Structure 1
Amino acid sequence: MTGTGAETAVAWLASVAPHPGACLREWERNPQGMALLPAGKRWDVLIVPGELGYPTLDVLTRLLDRPGPVLADFGDSRMGFFVPPGTAARWIGTGIRGVGAGAWIVVPRPGGTVGGVRWLIPPDGSGTLTDASLLELALHEAAAVRGARDGR
C-alpha cells in the first residue's frame, strides 16, 4: 500500500493514539517504526494461532472482497484480526485471545516494511473491520478442514 491509501490508513490508526499528532510524526520520522496503540476505541483484535489463522484468512478472502485488517507476528505464530470494538469482551473461544478496551497492541505503519509484526491485510483507512460473526464461521470452517485433514 502506497500513496494516499497508506496515508489514510496511517491517519485512521493514529486517531486512537493518546497523542495522534505525535504518533503521526514518529511514523513520518521512521516509516519502518511501530506504535503502541490502544484497542477498544475503533477496533478490537482477536489473536489466533497462525496454524488456524491462515486457513481462516483463506476462508474470509473467499467470502469477502476485502476483510478487515490482519496482522501477523514474527514467525507467523499468531495473527490478529481487527474486529468491531466490544468483540473481545464477548468472545468465548479456546486458544483465541481478545484484545479490547484497556489493552494495547503493537502496530506497524501501513505501507512500511517491518521485520517482526507485519500487515497481511493493511487497513484501508475507511474503518473496514471483519464482522465477528463471519470470523467465527470462518474459524469453524478452517478448524473443520484442518481436523479432517489431520484425521480427527
Structure 2
Amino acid sequence: MSDLIWTRGVEWLAAAAPDPKECKREWDRGDGVALLAAGRFWDVLTVPDQLGLFTLDLLWRPSLPVPGPTLMDTAAHRVGFFLPPDPDSRWIGAGLRHAGKGSWVAVPPPYRSARFLEWLIPPDGTGALHAPATLELALRQANGTLSVLEPLCGQ
C-alpha cells in the first residue's frame, strides 16, 4: 500500500479515539494498540477464526466489492469485520459477538501488527466497510461449509 493510503487509514481509524492525536502517539510507541470506540464510525462483528477466514475467502470475489477492514486476533482466535454502525442490528448465531455503541475495540495501526492483532485487510481511509447483507450471506455459506467439513475432519 502507498504511504497516502496508510496515512488516510491512520486518520480514519484514529478519528474513533477520544483523542486522535494521543491515539496516533500510542500506535507509535508502547505496545502499539489503541482502544477505539465502536458505534460512531463503525461496528465490529467478530466470529471464530475458522468461520471468519472462510467467510473472508468467500468475500474475495471479482463480482463483489473489495471487502472492508478485517482484523484478526490470533490470541482469541477471532476475526473482526468492520461494518456500518447500526444500533438496531441483531447479529444472532453461535460465537458471533457484535461491538456497537458503548463498546471499545483494541486496534493496531493499519501499517503493522501489534501483540496478537493483525489486519487481514487494513482500512484504506475511504470509510469503506463490509456490507452487512453481503457479509451475512458469506457467513451463512461459510458456516454451511464448516458444518459439512467438521464431521469429515473428525473435529
* Fold-level similarity (TM above 0.5): yes
Shift of 1:74: 2.1
Map 1:2-17 to 2 at 5 A: 2-17=2-17
Shift of 1:45: 0.2
Unaligned runs of 5+ in 2: none
Map 1:1-152 to 2 at 5 A: 1-27=1-27, 29-30=28-29, 33-62=32-61, 63-75=63-75, 77-86=77-86, 89-151=89-151
Separation of aligned partners in 2, 1:95 and 1:76: 12
Number of equivalenced pairs: 151
Which is richer in helix?
1
The aligned amino acid for 1:61 is W
Shift of 1:76: 6.7
Aligned 8 A contact 1:44 1:88 in 2: no
CA-to-partner distance for each residue in 1:16-75, whole Å, 9 max, x for gaps?
Answer: 111112212333x32961110000011000010011111000001125341010000124
SS in 2 for 1:90: coil
Separation of aligned partners in 1, 2:30 and 2:65: 28
Shift of 1:144: 1.2
Q: Which moved more, 1:125-134 or 1:29-38?
A: 29-38
Separation of aligned partners in 2, 1:37 and 1:108: 10
RMSD (CA atoms): 2.0
SS in 1 for 2:133: helix
Q: 1:32 to 1:9 in 2, by over 3 A?
A: farther
Separation of aligned partners in 2, 1:132 and 1:101: 17
Unaligned runs of 5+ in 1: none
Separation of aligned partners in 1, 2:88 and 2:5: 28
Shift of 1:87: 6.1
